[in-house]
């Protein structure tokens, strides 16, 4: 199942862009988000983000991962 992913254009305390899915408690303000499109999981979304931006400082949001992917792991 594909999920819409986006990332926070502002970096977190570790200098990473957090990648989120919708309905996340920790999701940033809409104006701070960059869409990544539909992906099977956050790992794929991050790979896409790295290719799309040329940056490598992306990190999956633990909250989203727990909600969406833990049961699939």
**Which of 15/17 has CB closer to Zn ion?**
17
- DSSP letter string, the chain: --EEEEEESS--TTS-EEEE-TT-TT---GGGEEEEEEESSHHHHHHHHHHHHS---EEE-HHHHHHHTGGG-
Site string for Zn ion, 19-48 (x = CB under 5 A): -x---x-x----------------------
Of 36, 46, 61, 68, which one interacts with Zn ion (CB under 5 A)? Answer: 61
- Tell whether residue 68 is a contact of Zn ion (CB under 5 A): no
């Amino acid at each position: 199942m594909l999920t819409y992913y986006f990332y926070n254009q502002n970096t977190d305390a570790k200098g990473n862009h957090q990648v989120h899915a919708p309905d996340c408690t920790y999701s940033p303000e809409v104006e701070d988000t960059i869409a990544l499109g539909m992906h099977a999981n956050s790992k794929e979304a991050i790979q896409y983000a790295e290719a799309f931006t040329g940056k490598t400082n992306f990190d999956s949001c633990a909250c989203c991962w727990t909600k969406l992917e833990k049961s699939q792991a």
